[in-house]
Every structure is written in C-alpha cells, then in structure tokens.
C-alpha cells in the first residue's frame, strides 16, 4: 500500500503541532507518532501528496520517492524456510520468516526438547492460535509463590524483529534446559513468541507498517486496536488515543481485545515474578510505570534488574541500550502490558530492540535482515539476566548510575 508514496525523515521542529498540520495537508502518515513529540528529529513519515513544500520549508528531507520499494529493498519481505535443517545452527535467522514458518520452528524445538510443552493459550480475533511454550523446572508449583517469568513478543504487528527474537529465545532456552535442566529448578518460564498473529500476517501481506490487531472499529473504516494501550492498567489515562484511526487507539474499553484477554489469562495462571514484553525499536530497557512520570515504589529493584539486562545485552555485541522508567526515558503511555503486570506484583519490563533511535543501520520498524541474528542473540542474553534476577535478586549488584540519553540533556 505504500508503493509510490514518499518516505521522508523530519528535521528538528520548534512546534510539533504546526508540523503535524503541515504533514496532514500533504497526506502524511507518521510512523511513530509518540516518539515524534521529542522534537520531530529523524521521525519518519510516508506521504501520499506533494511534499515539495515540506522540503522547501525545511520540514524534512526525502529518503525515497517509493516507500514500498525502499522497504522491500532495504529490509525485505518474509520468505519461506525449508523444513530440513531445523537445527539451532541453521540459517533460519538470515531472513524474515512468515507466521507458518515461525510456528513450525517453535513446534520443532519443543518436540525435540522433551522438557517443554507447546500449548494453545487461546485464539486471536480472527481465530488463529496463540501459542505458549512452557518450561517448568523441578520443584516448581503454581500454588506457591515461586519464580515465574512470562515473556511476550510481537505485540505490535510491524515489529518483525521481535517475533524472530521470540523464536530464537524459545530455541535457545530449550537448548539450555536440555543441557542443564537444573537451571530451571523452582522456576517456570512461559514464552509467547507471537502475541499478535492477525496483525503480523496483515503486515506481511498488505500494510508493512500496521501496528494494531485487526479489530473492526464501530463507525470507522480504520482497522485495529493498539494491544499495548488496551490493558486494564490506568487505561485511557494519557499517551493513547480515542481515535480509531490512530496507531495508539486504546479500544472501546479496557481489555476489550481477545489477544489482551488471552495474554492476561496466561499472566494470571499463577503469581509472576518478572514479565518482559519485547518491542522495537530504539535500543531501550524500559521499566514500569509507563502511565505516569512518578517513580515506582520499587524503583531501586527496577534499576537493578534493568541494569542487569542492559549489561547482559552490552556484553553480547557491545551495544549499550538506554535503561530507565518508560515515562522518563521515552514517553507516557497508559494501558500497557508492563503496568498490568506490575499491578499484579511482577516487575514489568519492556525491551525495545534494534535499530537505534538515531544513526546506526537505519530501518526503524523495517531494519535490514542482517540485524535479525545479532538482535536475537543480545535479546536472549538480556532475557537470561531477567530470569536469573527473578530467581535470585541478591546475586545482582546494584548498577552504577546511568546518564540520561543525550536527547534529554
């Protein structure tokens, strides 16, 4: 749908509201509206109208006159993967994979492990299975307040790199369990590698930048609810939209969406210790609260686990993510999954994967395929750090203070 449309990168602006008005006149779609509110700098937009006036006024510069072709060439589309050679060392992560191949990869890993179960947690709006992989260590009991970690990926449809990281996490956690099952003693880890199957499929076939699920919104032709604004956690309290056409549309009511309800049910099977929701992009380790700039009563705990994840990621490929509370590091956003988890006693973490906010290999929500494997590798190390903190917080030293990201100084 973006073929023939102009892809632009914005310059710094003195007035976001005025810039939005100019973009609206040119028929522009802002790819990540909340981040734009930092100052417009480097925000990407796709425009169906004449952008000559925008360029002349210094609003931004043209990256490509054909956004669809640009993304196909720079990032690529999903490709089928041959079922033979399904071992961990194969080239599955050299390219983007479709839903069927991702699910087959996960099933193959579970079948080969002998230590995990693959379960259908529920159905998406369009009736697709929402799978979870469960690894339950020796001595774990859901009736007792024991270590339980829940991991979700690809809640936002267009964030393909997160779904690939989810498949990788399943494979390598199961490989770890096969090699040292004692690692999971007294612990349950539940992984949902694809949390928005309907939206993901739509993003691979029709609208590469689709973010939401596939809900039909009453009185509107615009599809979808933002599944990370729909949770019954200070729902519709800021940082979301009541406009069904907005990417951050929070839905008609809290927990209105089937996908939200399925994930909530998984969360609430037993007390959680840590919940990690993996998104992209901007290379961040974010912690609850997201709905308010006020600090959590567990701020010091959050800095310990956040710092531990940050350091584990850095040691993988030398990339240093920025760490801190959502509303301090990024923006205020109510109705999010990590605040829902926090309200239920878990430490709620959000990872924002590659690429970086500024510079780097570029690509935003459509990074080059060469980023898939290193991103999955460093994400996995960060998740191990989260699991190990959940098992024994005392084993993690207090982190050194992290300077604020440069764009906040």
19: nearest Cα among 58, 49, 50, 48: 58
Task: Note down pLDDT in tens along the chain; length 409 residues.
Answer: 999 999 999 999 999 999 999 999 999 999 877 667 678 988 899 999 999 999 999 999 999 999 999 999 999 999 888 654 455 556 899 999 999 999 999 999 999 999 999 999 999 999 999 999 999 999 999 988 899 999 999 999 999 999 999 999 999 999 999 999 999 999 999 999 999 999 999 999 999 999 999 999 999 999 999 999 999 999 999 999 999 999 999 999 999 999 999 999 999 999 999 999 999 999 999 999 999 999 999 999 999 999 999 999 999 999 999 999 999 998 899 999 999 999 999 999 999 999 987 655 557 899 999 999 999 999 999 999 999 999 999 988 766 655 555 343 3
- Kindly give, in sequence order, each residue whose CB lies less than 8 Å from that of residue 78, ignoring residues fewer than 6 positions away: 95, 96, 97, 98, 101, 160, 204
Q: Which residues contact 188 (CB under 8 A, 6 or more apart)?
A: 134, 135, 136, 137, 140, 142, 146, 147, 148, 149, 270
This prediction's pTM? 0.94
Summary count for the chain: helices (H), strands (E):
12, 12
Q: Report how far Cα 259 is from the mean position of its chain's Cα atoms.
A: 15
Which residues is 62 bridged to in the sheet? 8
Give the side-chain half-sphere CA count within 13 A for 290: 32
Location of structure tokens 């994930």: 263
Q: Where are the domains of the chain?
A: 6-74, 92-408
**Catalytic machinery residues:** 352
3-state DSSP: the chain helix, strand, coil percent, rounded to 5? 35, 20, 45
DSSP code at position 63: E
Span 92-408 CATH architecture: 3-Layer(aba) Sandwich (3.40)
């Amino acid at each position: 749908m973006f073929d023939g449309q102009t892809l632009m990168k914005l310059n710094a602006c003195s007035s976001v509201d005025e810039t939005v008005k100019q973009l609206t006149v040119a028929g522009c779609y802002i790819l990540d509206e909340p981040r734009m509110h930092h100052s417009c700098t480097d925000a990407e937009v796709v425009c169906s109208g004449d952008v000559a006036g925008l360029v002349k006024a210094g609003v931004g510069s043209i990256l490509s006159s054909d956004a669809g072709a640009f993304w196909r060439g720079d990032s690529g589309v999903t490709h089928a993967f041959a079922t033979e050679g399904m071992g961990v060392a194969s080239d599955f992560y050299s390219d983007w994979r479709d839903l069927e191949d991702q699910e087959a990869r996960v099933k193959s890993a579970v079948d080969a492990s002998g230590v995990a179960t693959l379960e259908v947690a529920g159905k998406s709006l369009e009736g697709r299975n929402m799978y979870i992989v469960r690894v339950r260590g020796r001595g774990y009991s859901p009736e007792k307040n024991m270590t339980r970690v829940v991991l979700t990926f690809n809640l936002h449809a267009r964030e393909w790199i997160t779904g690939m990281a989810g498949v990788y996490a399943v494979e390598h956690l199961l490989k770890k369990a096969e090699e040292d099952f004692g690692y999971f003693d007294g612990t349950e880890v539940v992984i949902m590698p694809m949390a928005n199957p309907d939206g993901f499929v739509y993003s691979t076939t029709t609208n590469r930048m689709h973010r939401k699920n596939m809900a039909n919104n009453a009185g509107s032709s615009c599809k979808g609810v933002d599944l990370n604004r729909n949770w019954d956690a200070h729902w519709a309290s800021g940082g979301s939209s009541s406009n069904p056409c907005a990417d951050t549309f929070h839905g008609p009511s809290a927990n209105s969406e089937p996908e939200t309800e399925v994930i909530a049910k998984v969360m609430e099977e037993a007390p959680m210790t840590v919940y990690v929701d993996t998104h992209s992009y901007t290379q961040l380790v974010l912690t609850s609260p997201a709905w308010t700039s006020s600090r959590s009563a567990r701020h010091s705990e959050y800095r310990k686990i956040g710092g531990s994840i940050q350091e584990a990621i850095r040691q993988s490929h030398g990339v240093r993510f920025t760490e801190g509370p959502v509303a301090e590091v990024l923006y205020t956003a109510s109705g999010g999954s990590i605040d829902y988890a926090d309200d239920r006693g878990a430490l709620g973490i959000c990872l924002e994967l590659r690429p970086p906010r500024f510079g780097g290999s570029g690509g935003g929500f459509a990074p080059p395929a060469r980023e898939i494997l290193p991103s999955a590798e460093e994400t996995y190390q960060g998740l191990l750090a989260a699991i190990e903190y959940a098992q024994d917080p005392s084993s993690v030293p207090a982190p050194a203070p992290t300077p604020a990201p440069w764009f906040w100084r």
